[in-house]
Structure 1
C-alpha cells in the first residue's frame, strides 16, 4: 500500500492539494490517504520585568477555542464521509498543537511514502523572518514532498523537469525519477542551470548529464542547459518556458545556522514557483 499524508487546514490551497492527491490516487492501485488537520492552541505571551512566559487567553477566548474545536471535529467527520467508498482508502484526524511540529510528528508516526501540501508561498520580510510551514516540511521530511499552489490535475502531467548539477551519484533520486516518469508517462527534462557565479561550458554539463543517464539507465530524457542569473530563477524560468507540469529537485535539508548562511535552492523554488514542486531530502 502507498500512504500519502496531506496536511489540511480547510483553505483553498489545502483543498487544491487534497484534490491533487485524490486525482493521483485514482491512477494507482492500493493508495491510502491520511489527512491531518492541526488546530493551534492559542497562547498569549506575557513578558514582564521579572521574566514571564505563556499563559492561556482570557475566558471568552477559551470558549471561542472550544467552539472552534467542536466545529473542526465536525468538519473532519464530514471529510471522512465525503471520501469514503472510493477506490482508495481515506482517513482524517484532528491534532492540537503547533502546525509544523504536529505535521512533523505525523510524518514520523505515519511513515508515509509521500507528503502533499498546499502552499501560498511568501516573499519579502515574511519569507526571511518566518518562512512557511511548507518550506520547513520540505527541509526536514524523510520522504518526498509535493507542494501544490493551485488547482492541478495530475492526470494531465506530460512534462517533468529534474533540476540538478549532476555532480553526485544519487541512487535514490534516480530511482524515484524513473518512478515519476513511469507514473505519469511524461517527458523528462534534465536541466543544469548555468550562472555567472558558477559558470561551466555546455560541453561539460551535457557530458555529466549523459553519464548520469547512462549509469541509471534512463530513456527518453532531454538534456538541457539553461543560462540565468541564479539557480532558483533559472529553474523556474526553464519550467515556465517549456510549460512543465512538475519541477523535481533534491534538497540537503540544512537547518540552523548552516541553513541561514547557505539557504536552499529547493526551498526558494518551492516558495516562488507557480507549478507543483516535488522535493526529496538527501544526505
Structure 2
C-alpha cells in the first residue's frame, strides 16, 4: 500500500494539496490517504485565583474553541463521507496542540510514503525568525514532501527539474527520484546552478551530472548548467525558463543553531517558488 499524509487546515492551499493527493490516488491501486487536522489550543489569558497563580483560558476563548471543535468534527465527518466509496481508502483525524509537533508525530506514527502540504510561503520578519510549518516539515520529515501553492494536476506534470551539485552519491535520493519520474512519467532536467562565489567550468559540471545519471540508470534526462546570483534564484529561474511543472531537491535537514547559520536552499525554494516542490531529507 502507498500511503499519503495530508496536513489539512481547511485553507485554499490545503484543499489544493488534498485534490492533488486524490488525483494521485485515483491513478494507482492500493493507495491510502491520511488527513490530519491540528487545532491549536487557545492561549491562556486570565490569571487563576485559586492560589496557584496558574494561567487559565478565559471563558470567551473556551466557548469559541468548543464551537470551532464541533465545526471541525462535522467538517472531518463530511470529508470522510465524501471519500467513502472511492477506489482508494481514506481516513481523517483531529489532533490538539502545536501544528508542527503534531504533524511530525503523525509522520513518525503513520510512516507515509509521501507528505503533500499546501503552503502560502512566508516573507519578511516571519521568514527570518521562524519560517513556516511547511518549511519545518520539509527540514525534518523522514519521507519526501510535496509542497503546493495552487491547483495542480499530477497528469500535467511532464517536466521535473532536479537541482543538485551532484557531488555526493546518494542511493536513496536517486531511488526516490527514479520512483518520482516513473510515478509521473515525466522528463527530468538535472541542473547545477553556477554562482559567482561557487563557480566551476561547464565541462566539470556536465561530467558530474552525466556520471550521476549513468551510475543510477536514469533515462530521458537533460543535463544543464545555469548561471545566477544565488542557488535559490537560479533554481527558480531555470524552472521558469524551461517551463517546468515541478522542482525536486534534496535537503540536509539541519536544525537548531547550525540551520540558523547555514540555512537551506531547499527550504528557500519551497518558500518562494510558485511551482510545486518535491523535497527529500538526506541522512
User: What TM-score does the superposition give when structure 2 sets the normalisation length?
Assistant: 0.96
Aligned position for 1:124:
124
Match of 2:280 in 1: 280
- Aligned 8 A contact 2:45 2:57 in 1: no
| Cα separation, 2, equivalents of 1:59 and 1:97 | 19
> Cα offset for 1:126?
1.2
Contact 1:45 1:54 (8 Å CA) reproduced: no
What is the CA distance between 1:55 and its match in structure 2? 2.5
Deviation at 1:128, TM superposition (A): 0.7
Q: Show the counterpart of 1:92.
A: 92
Residue 142 (1) aligns with residue 142 (2): yes
Contact 1:7 1:117 in 2 (8 A): yes
Gaps of at least 5 residues in structure 2 are none
- Counterpart secondary structure, 2:278: strand
Question: Which residue is 1:14 aligned to?
Answer: 14
CA contact (8 A) 1:160 1:186 kept: yes
Q: 1:229 offset after TM fit, Å?
A: 0.3
Q: How does 1:99-118 map to 2 (within 5 A)?
A: 99-118=99-118
Two-structure CA RMSD over aligned residues (Å): 1.4
Partner deviation per Cα, 1:45-95 (whole Å, 9 max, x = no partner): 689xxxx99723211210111111111100100000011111110001011
1:206 maps to which residue? 206
Look up the match of 2:251: 251
* Matched-pair contact (CA < 8 Å) for 1:44–1:54: no
**What TM-score does the superposition give when structure 1 sets the normalisation length?**
0.96
Partners of 2:4 and 2:114 within 8 A in 1: yes
- Structure 2 distance, partners of 1:195, 1:45, is 50
CA distance in 1, matches of 2:161, 2:56: 48
Q: Deviation of residue 165 (structure 1)? A: 0.2
Give a deviation string over 1:189-228, Cα, whole Å, max 9, x none: 0000000010000000000001101111111100000000
In structure 1, C-alpha distance between the alignment counterparts of 2:57 and 2:46, rounded to whole Å: 10
Q: Deviations over 1:140-179 (max 9, x none)?
A: 0001000000001111111000000000001011111111
Where structure 1 has 5 or more consecutive residues not aligned to the other structure, the ranges are none
Residue 164 of structure 1 corresponds to which residue in structure 2? Answer: 164
- Report the equivalent of 2:233: 233
1:45 and 1:108 mapped to 2: Cα distance?
33
C-alpha distance in 1 between matches for 2:46 and 2:65 = 19
**Partner deviation per Cα, 1:208-261 (whole Å, 9 max, x = no partner):** 001101111111100000000000000000001111111000001000000000
**Alignment check: 8 A CA contact 2:45 2:58 kept:** no
Structure 1 counterpart SS, 2:162: strand
Whether 1:173 aligns to 2:173 is yes
Structure 2 counterpart of 1:219: 219
